């Protein structure tokens, strides 16, 4: 275990669990170097089904260079409808080639526009829109450009196999149970802490969780100014200057002339504040945030929860508690029995408190991929653990200044909370010309959390 990059530590990811040097390099030199394909769990009827009974048109889009939110906005503009009528199960990054499902209410296949960098395949119709729970996971194929130490990948694999409690897959000769080498492209099982990746907080300006923390404290003014201000060194000089100006003056109209046109969310906030006669009260700041789409408003609170979760995992690491098996006081969940067997998906609706009598039996389930140790994504109904795990959870929340009742919020900001597996396992394959890592992850887990263990570099190189 070694200290993480300072930018990662700022969002709660304190450590790498692999202790060896990384391979170096960078990701996303081209969109085609980062490929993602969804694994869905969503049934549709024929495209010819009655639209009155099945009003949602479902299509699979292959997007190159499109952020999911940007694509949804462009699609809704072309269809002359509210963006709220466009739904999807998982949000993907811009600098990638992604394949995912979308649903749109009350349109016909012929209405779908032709957009650059987009290939659309109509799947059918459905009686409801896509939701987050319809995504089982994602398949990744990722090229690492200019790695300085590509041979170090096998040493990282060894460390991650041990961390995931998967040491017995490897023999003395470096082969797995089937006799395949760890470096010949055959899949090898590894485990990493199920951190929320840098993208959750902002890859280049990690402030999303800070906005969320202000919201849960009902500091609406602080939330808006955190989003508008806080210039980051990675931003262009013009943008940094605009953020500094609005932080110092709160001259919303003048700031509109200074903020670049592509920062449409910032400009939307400024328009709302300017309409408040220049002296907004707390309610005006809250209304300004309503200019954001509902999924982005939820994201702020989710980022605050994610930050606390990352901190809890880092504290567990620092105390040397295992991730692949429980200790007394943990709360475990079981695997979702309804999904295909090669992708272990935690079912956080099936929780089990682990007292002294259950430690060994739950540990056996964890070893077989049938159960997972969890930590809280805190909300109004969160039940914290007991023993040392519960002590960790409470100490982190106290340090951040969060209480469960803080999430009793209006509209999209409200959260009852849930729990999340602290370990994610995957079967990973490595090819060396070019250096390519292929693996699958359950929904909500981040490819960059796997890749950071291999590269051990500035998180901005992870894209």
Residue whose C-alpha is closest to residue 55's, from 71, 44, 39, 40: 44
Measure CA of the first residue to CA of the last residue in the chain; give whole Å.
24
Token pair of 374 as six digits: 């969890």
pLDDT score at 234: 81
Lowest mean pLDDT among 90-99, 182-191, 432-441: 182-191
167 versus 36: which is more confidently predicted? 36
pTM equals 0.87
By the 8 A CB rule, do 47 and 125 touch? yes
131-154 pLDDT, tens digit per residue, is 877 888 899 999 999 999 999 999
Other C-beta atoms closer than 10 Å to the C-beta of 337 total 10
- Check whether 5 has a pLDDT greater than 70: yes
By the 8 A CB rule, do 308 and 378 touch? yes
For residues 74-96, average pLDDT = 88
370 Cβ contact partners less than 8 Å away, ≥ 6 residues apart: 334, 335
> Which residue is it, tokens 């220049």?
278
- 33-137 CATH: 3.30.70.3160
Residue whose C-alpha is closest to residue 406's, from 157, 215, 203: 215
d(CA 76, CA 87): 11
Kindly list the distances between the CA atom of residue 54 and the CA atoms of 5, 134, 153, 348, 436, in Å, as whole numbers in the listed order: 49, 17, 49, 30, 41
By the 8 A CB rule, do 28 and 463 touch? yes
Residue whose C-alpha is closest to residue 108's, from 37, 54, 62, 30: 54
Helix/strand/coil for 332: strand
Percentage of the residues of the chain whose pLDDT score is greater than 70? 95
49-74 pLDDT, tens digit per residue, is 999 999 999 999 999 989 888 899 99
Kindly list the distances between the CA atom of residue 87 and the CA atoms of 126, 145, 170, 295, in Å, as whole numbers in the listed order: 12, 34, 43, 10
d(CA 16, CA 450): 10
239-278 pLDDT, tens digit per residue, is 999 999 999 999 999 999 999 999 989 999 999 998 887 6
pLDDT score at 175: 43
Cβ contacts of 233-238, under 8 Å, gap ≥ 24? 234/204, 234/205, 234/460, 235/204, 235/205, 236/260
Q: What angle do CA 173, 174, 176 make, to 5 degrees?
A: 110
Residue 50 annotated as catalytic: no
Q: What is the DSSP letter of 175?
A: B
**Would you kindly state where each structural domain of the chain is located, as residue ranges?**
2-27+144-194+424-462, 33-137, 202-292, 296-421
* b/e burial code for range 168-181 (CB count within 10 A of at least 16 → b): ebbeeeebbeeeee
**For residue 154, what is the enclosing H or E element?**
helix 153-163
Q: Which of 31, 93, 159, 176 is catalytic?
A: 93
pLDDT score at 341: 55
Q: Could you tell me what percentage of the chain is helix, strand and coil, using 3-state DSSP and rounding each to the nearest 5? A: 35, 20, 40
d(CA 236, CA 296): 24
Which pairing describes strands 331-335 and 97-105: parallel, antiparallel, or unpaired?
Answer: unpaired
Q: How many CA atoms lie within 13 A of 245 on its CB side?
A: 16
- Check whether 102 has a pLDDT greater than 90: yes
Model confidence at 179, in pLDDT bands (50, 70, 90)?
A: very low
Lowest mean pLDDT among 132-141, 173-182, 383-392: 173-182
- Check whether 15 has a pLDDT greater than 80: yes
Token pair of 231 as six digits: 């210039």
Cβ contacts of 285-290, under 8 Å, gap ≥ 24? 285/220, 285/221, 285/223, 285/224, 286/220, 288/224, 289/215, 289/220, 289/223, 289/224
Q: Measured in whole angstroms, how far is the alpha carbon of residue 314 from the centre of its chain?
A: 17
pLDDT score at 296: 86
Token pair of 58 as six digits: 């479902």
Residue length, the chain? 463
d(CA 111, CA 100): 19
186-200 pLDDT, tens digit per residue, is 889 999 999 999 888
What is the residue-averaged pLDDT of the chain?
A: 89
Domain 202-292 has CATH 3.30.160.60: no
Model confidence at 173, in pLDDT bands (50, 70, 90)?
A: very low
Residue whose C-alpha is closest to residue 404's, from 385, 377, 386: 377
CATH of 296-421, one of 3.30.2350.20, 3.90.79.10, 3.40.50.720, 3.40.50.150: 3.30.2350.20
């Amino acid at each position: 275990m070694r200290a993480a990059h300072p930018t990662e530590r700022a969002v709660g990811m304190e450590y790498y669990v692999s202790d060896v040097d990384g391979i170096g390099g960078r990701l996303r030199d081209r969109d085609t170097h980062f490929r993602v394909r969804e694994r869905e769990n969503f049934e549709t009827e024929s495209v010819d089904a009655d639209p009155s009974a099945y009003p949602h048109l479902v299509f699979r889009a292959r997007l190159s260079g499109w952020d999911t939110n940007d694509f949804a906005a462009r699609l809704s503009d072309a269809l002359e409808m509210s963006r709220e009528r466009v739904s999807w199960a998982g949000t993907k990054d811009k600098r990638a080639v992604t394949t995912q499902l979308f649903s749109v209410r009350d349109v016909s296949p012929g209405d779908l526009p032709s957009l650059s960098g987009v290939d659309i395949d109509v799947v059918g119709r459905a009686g409801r829109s896509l939701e987050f729970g319809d995504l089982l996971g994602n398949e990744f194929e990722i090229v690492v450009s200019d790695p300085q130490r590509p041979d170090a990948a096998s040493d990282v694999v060894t460390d991650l196999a041990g961390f995931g409690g998967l040491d017995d897959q490897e023999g003395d000769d470096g082969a797995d149970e089937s006799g395949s080498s760890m470096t010949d492209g055959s899949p090898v099982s590894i485990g990493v802490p199920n951190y929320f990746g840098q993208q959750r907080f902002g890859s280049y300006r990690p402030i999303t969780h800070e906005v969320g923390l202000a919201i849960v404290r009902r500091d609406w003014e602080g939330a808006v100014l955190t989003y508008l201000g806080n210039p980051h060194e990675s931003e262009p000089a013009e943008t940094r200057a605009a953020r500094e100006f609005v932080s110092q003056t709160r001259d919303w109209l003048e700031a509109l002339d200074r903020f670049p046109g592509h920062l449409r969310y910032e400009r939307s906030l400024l328009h709302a504040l300017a309409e408040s006669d220049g002296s907004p009260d707390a309610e005006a700041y809250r209304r300004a945030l309503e200019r954001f789409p509902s999924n982005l408003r939820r994201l702020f609170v989710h980022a605050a929860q994610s930050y606390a979760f990352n901190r809890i995992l880092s504290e567990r690491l620092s105390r040397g508690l295992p991730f692949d098996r429980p200790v007394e006081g943990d709360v475990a969940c079981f695997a979702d029995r309804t999904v295909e067997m090669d992708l272990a998906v935690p079912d956080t609706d099936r929780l089990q408190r682990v007292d002294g009598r259950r430690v060994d039996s739950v540990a056996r389930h964890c070893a077989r991929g049938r159960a997972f140790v969890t930590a809280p994504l805190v909300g109004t109904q969160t039940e914290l653990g007991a023993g040392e795990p519960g002590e960790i959870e409470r100490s982190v929340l106290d340090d951040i200044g969060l209480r469960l009742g803080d999430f009793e919020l209006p509209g999209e900001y409200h959260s009852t909370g849930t729990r999340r597996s602290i370990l994610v396992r995957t079967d990973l394959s490595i090819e060396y010309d070019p250096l390519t890592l292929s693996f699958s992850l359950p929904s909500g887990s981040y490819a960059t959390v796997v890749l950071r263990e291999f590269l051990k570099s500035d998180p901005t190189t992870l894209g």
